[in-house]
Structure formats: structure tokens, C-alpha cells
Amino acid sequence: MQQPITGFHLDEHDDWVAELACGHFQHVRHNPPWTVRPWVLTGEGRAGVLGRRLECKKCDAGAPADALPSPLSR
């Protein structure tokens, strides 16, 4: 199911994670040549893709919404 990106946060490994409108999260790494997403490397790039839709496999599986990690747990 396609869901729009509503925001971003860093995970515990400092990898960018897209926050989707459905409440699920999805990693959005730039890892060429396998995954090419240079827009994830800058704040301007990430802001430019807000609203872009990503395929959410968690929605397809009926998974509950994800929860943001506590800032104290990092």
C-alpha cells in the first residue's frame, strides 16, 4: 500500500528513517549501487520528498503503528 512520507528521524545507528502517514517507519538509506537515494543526505533533500509515497509492506501485513524511540534510549 502506498503511503506518503510525513517526516524523518535518525535511528540508533544514525540511519535515516521515513515516517509515513499510516504510522509506520521505513529506512531510506543511500547505499549505492544497491539503493540510490542521494536526497536523503541533506535536510533540503529530505524536505523535498515530504508527501512522496512509499510502498508500506507493514500496512499490507496489517502491522500496528511504529513508536518513536525514546531520546533517552540513544
Strands 53-55 and 25-27: unpaired
Residue 70: per-residue pLDDT: 67
Block mean pLDDT (10 aa), the chain, length 74: 96 94 96 93 97 97 88 53
The pTM of the full predicted model, rounded to 2 decimals, is 0.87
Burial (0-12, 13-18, 19+ Cβ within 10 Å), 20: buried
The ranges assigned to domains in the chain are 2-62
